[in-house]
Amino acid sequence: MNGQERRSEIRKLLESAPEKIRAMDLAKRFSVSRQIIVGDVALLKAEGVPVVSTPRGYYLKREGVEPSGYRETLVCCHDRAHTGEELSLIVSLGGIVHNVSVEHEVYGMLTGNLEIETLEDVHAFIQKMEGDQFVLLSALSGGIHSHLIETKDRAHMEKIKGALDKAGFLYRREEP
């Protein structure tokens, strides 16, 4: 199977998949390396295929599907050690953490897709972060970062904001 055929098959799998598909699983299926799959996905994205990459796999962004809940971007600040606490607090109060973004002086806004919906997702993210000693995006900005968070309604978002504020995670700019 050549690369174009493999990419066509990957697209078909993503179109019919009920859940995210990991790069490692695609690599096994096609008997290639994970890096080949990463390249294939990059080429699919370049062709305009709406592939979303998350720490737990790939999925296709569905055309015409609007978010069903209330969304807001919250700016937070904390060190690496408090990442799990922050994410757990958000999902335990009914939030979905879609991404994390930081402002970089050279590259501008850098965003990583997270799609963290459950405490299990939080634990998997923290385990991956600690096991592989990845540098968090927030390390590039002194701990300041933002999350696009979705809740079922504004009231749930307000509870999350209150809890993040109480925990000291909401960023408050100090005036000189």
Q: Are residues 89 and 157 in the same domain?
A: yes
Helix locations, 17-58, DSSP H: 23-30, 34-46
Choice among 20-24, 54-58, 102-106 with the minimum mean pLDDT: 54-58
Q: How confident is the model over 27-36, as pLDDT tens digits?
A: 999 999 999 9
Residue 171 lies in a domain: no
Question: Looking at the domain assignment, is residue 80 inside a domain?
Answer: yes
Tell me, yes or no, whether 139 and 96 share the same domain.
yes
pLDDT-derived band at 139 (thresholds 50, 70, 90) equals confident
User: Quick check: is 152 in a domain?
Assistant: yes
Across residues 138-148, what is the average pLDDT?
A: 91
| 144-156 pLDDT per residue, tens | 999 999 999 999 9
Do 107 and 146 fall within a single domain?
A: yes
Q: What is the pLDDT of residues 34-44, one digit of tens each?
A: 999 999 999 99
Tell me what the mean pLDDT of segment 10-20 comes to.
Answer: 92
Does residue 174 register a pLDDT over 90?
no
* One-letter identity of residue 157: M
Assign 53 a pLDDT band (cuts: 50, 70, 90).
Answer: confident
Is residue 147 within 8 A of residue 90, CB to CB? The reply is: yes
**pLDDT average, residue stretch 51-73:** 81
- What is the rounded average pLDDT for all residues in the chain? 90
Cα gap 126→56, rounded to integer Å: 12
Quote the percentage of the chain above a pLDDT of 90.
68
Residue span of the structural domain in which 155 resides: 70-166
Domain of 154, CATH number, reads 3.30.1340.20
pTM for the full model?
Answer: 0.78
Residues 20 and 83 in one domain: no
Position 176 pLDDT exceeds 60: no
State how many domains the chain has. 2
More confident residue, 121 or 56: 121
User: Can you give the pLDDT at residue 56?
Assistant: 81
Q: In terms of domains, do 79 and 42 share one?
A: no
Answer yes or no: is 74 within a domain: yes
Residue 173 lies in a domain: no
Q: Is the domain of 157 the same as that of 110?
A: yes
On whether both 97 and 153 belong to a single domain, the answer is: yes
- Residue 52: count of CB within 10 angstroms of its CB: 17
